[in-house]
Structure 1
Amino acid sequence: MSRSRTVASVASAAVVLATAAYTIAVVSQGGDAETPVEHSLVARDLSKDEWLAHASPDVFHGTVLAMASQAHTDQPGEVEQRWRVRVDRAFKGGASGTVTVSTIAYVARDGSPTDEGGGVIPRPGRMYVFSGHRNGSDHVYYPFGGSAGTRPSPALNRPFGVKDGSQPLHPERFGGAETVEEYWTTAVKNAVSGPPLT
């Protein structure tokens, strides 16, 4: 391939990538008040709570009221479940009142939904911290996959610790946090971008 063709090919690829990155950075989830969906094409590590809080436009504590619907996705063995959730406290974003939260579960050999293999099945009456984003077109909250974005939780005023699933990046910053509410308020306050996944 000639040098001018190589330069033209590289320049074309750079324009396509730059356009895609720009589009992702400016496309909003709907409505003027929405935040951008994502600012990078790079997948980030969400295994620490400060990283998760940084990546999530919405972080809230909620109580699952009931399943609203369930449907198979286009992925074999996967079902989307939508839940009615009462928001107890928004730590980040504008969740309030009763909202719809979408989670993914897998289908066991007997055809029933299962949370094995990283799926999540919230239970009515139980509380969770949901971390993810709201889709502006259908007003449904989509937590990050698996247990990262749908974390079982005690009540807001209850003690919270590692046994409850907390995964702080800097445990020393949580010294004064004794309750679920204090813990997640601190995680959002100390939010930082996680490293790229490799």
Structure 2
Amino acid sequence: MKIRALAVSLTAAAVLAAVGLSLHAAMDTDVQVEDGGGLRISEDLQAADLSRDEYVAAASQHVFHGTVIRKTGEQHTGGNGDLEQQWLVEVDRAFKGDARGTITVNTTATDQDGDIIPDPGAPAVEPGKSYVFAGMWGEDPDRYETYGGAAGVHASNGLTQPDPETGPRADRAKHHTVEQRWSWAVEHARPGPDTDAATEDDNQSG
């Protein structure tokens, strides 16, 4: 469920402080790890700059690789075609955090004239395919929420296969396997700069 609000719970505020995030670029949340014991965030959080993998790794509570088993749900969140889809995912590699087993992952898309279009820059999620997911856990509803746009869902042909990323992140992903790319991102995780302070050179280097 999308909640357009800037207020955050004390728990969410603590997480933001821990990773040094400022409130700028939107992230929809309201999530939970399937076996409980996770973090509850029930607001539309806003992170700084998620244009680089290491910024995504710093902003995420969990980053993991998994294979989609099936779609378990789908809901419109407003009259503008916004769509949330839930997927049952088998986790096979946690790069950050302790995600494991089978979990429910929530992604966002748009429903236009009967066609489902992923967030700009994000791959279409399909059963049987693998992805790297980045985002956070919560307590209610019972699912894992990915970052929107190109930051939260990344296509994969397998952990040891060349990274298939296309678009703005492609230059950083080429010549690396999926496992190498995201292991490096977590090892070098750092908060992104304030959006207003970010420079073109900072966004393109690395």
TM-score calculated relative to the size of structure 2: 0.69
C-alpha deviation, 1:180, in angstroms: 1.6
Cα distance change, pair 55–103 in 1 and its aligned pair in 2 (3 A): same
Q: Deviations over 1:128-153 (max 9, x none)?
A: 10000112233311110022101111
Q: Indicate whether 1:135 and 2:138 are aligned.
A: yes
Partner residue of 1:149 out of 129, 152, 157: 152
Q: Give the count of matched residue pairs.
A: 172
Q: Indicate whether 1:179 and 2:181 are aligned.
A: no
Aligned counterpart, 1:10: none
For structure 2, the residue ranges without an aligned partner over 5 or more in a row are 1-5, 17-30, 197-206
Larger Rg: 1
C-alpha deviation, 1:34, in angstroms: 4.1
Whether the 8 Å CA contact 2:160–2:178 is kept in 1: the answer is: yes
Q: Deviations over 1:113-136 (max 9, x none)?
A: 222756763011111100001122
Q: Indicate whether 1:25 and 2:25 are aligned.
A: no
Q: d(CA) in 2 for partners of 1:163 and 1:105?
A: 18
Q: What secondary structure is seen at the aligned counterpart in 2 of 1:135?
A: coil
Q: Which has the higher helix share?
A: 1
Aligned counterpart, 1:14: none
Q: d(CA) in 1 for partners of 2:124 and 2:138?
A: 20
Give the AA of the match of 2:102: T
- Identity over aligned residues, as a percent? 39
Give the AA of the match of 1:191: A
Q: d(CA) in 1 for partners of 2:102 and 2:32?
A: 20
Q: d(CA) in 2 for partners of 1:79 and 1:162?
A: 24
Partner residue of 1:191 out of 189, 192, 198: 189
TM-score calculated relative to the size of structure 1: 0.71
Whether the 8 Å CA contact 1:49–1:167 is kept in 2: the answer is: no
Give the AA of the match of 2:108: I
Q: What secondary structure is seen at the aligned counterpart in 2 of 1:146?
A: coil
For structure 1, the residue ranges without an aligned partner over 5 or more in a row are 1-16
Partner residue of 1:89 out of 93, 96, 106: 93
Q: Deviations over 1:65-94 (max 9, x none)?
A: 111011111352111110111111011112
Whether the 8 Å CA contact 2:40–2:139 is kept in 1: the answer is: no
RMSD: 3.5
